Amino acid sequence: MSQMIEFLTRVGADSSLRFGSGESLCAAMDAMGLDGEMRSCVSAGDAEGVRAQIVQQSAYFVALMPPFSAALMPAFSVALMAPISASLVAPFRAAPSDVS
């Protein structure tokens, strides 16, 4: 597995591997002894296939931001919008009590 990570790191950092004709990618896979399904997935640019062979949990959460302040939750109502919009300059700062 760590060999595969090393391989991906090399591909990411080397334009001839990442954007080249494919021959240099094949040569790099040969040098690493990469064969079978992993080789097919890499050649096909099938990231899901690569993930399926390396990690168990392939879907990761990516959201890192709420659309509005915690003060609106859980009940969203128009009445609550005025105080929230007044804090537009720093809209998503939770009050200290929000960070428990």
Partner 1 sequence: MSASAIATRGRLVCVGVGMTLGSHITPIAQSEIDHADVVFAGVSDAIVELWLREMHPDVRSLQPYYAAGKSRHDTYGEMVEAILVEVRAGKRVCGVFYGHPGIFALAPHQSIELARAEGYEARMEPGVSSEDCLYADLGIDPGTFGCQHFEATQFIVYKRVVDPSAWLFLWQVGLVGDLTLGKLGTGPAYRQVLVDVLMRHYPGDHEVIVYKVPTLPIERPSIRRVRLDQLVDTVVSTSETVAIPPAKALVLDPTVRERLDALRHADVA
Ligand X SMILES: C[S@@+](CC[C@H](N)C(=O)[O-])C[C@H]1O[C@@H](n2cnc3c(N)ncnc32)[C@H](O)[C@@H]1O
Per CB under 6 A, 62 contacts ligand X:
yes
| Nearest residue to 17 (alpha-carbon basis) of 43, 54, 51 | 43
Helix (H, G, I), strand (E, B) or coil at 93: coil
| CA pair distance 54, 5, nearest whole angstrom | 9
Choose the contact partner of 50 out of ligand X, partner 1, none; CB within 5 to 8 A by kind. Answer: partner 1
Per CB under 8 A, 29 contacts partner 1:
no
| CA pair distance 90, 84, nearest whole angstrom | 10
Contact (CB, 8 A) for 36 and 44: no
Site residues (CB under 8 A) for partner 1, limited to 60-79: 60-68, 70, 72-74, 76
Q: Contact positions toward partner 1, by CB under 8 A? A: 1-2, 5-6, 8-13, 17-18, 41-42, 45-47, 50-51, 54-58, 60-68, 70, 72-74, 76, 81, 85, 92-94, 98-100
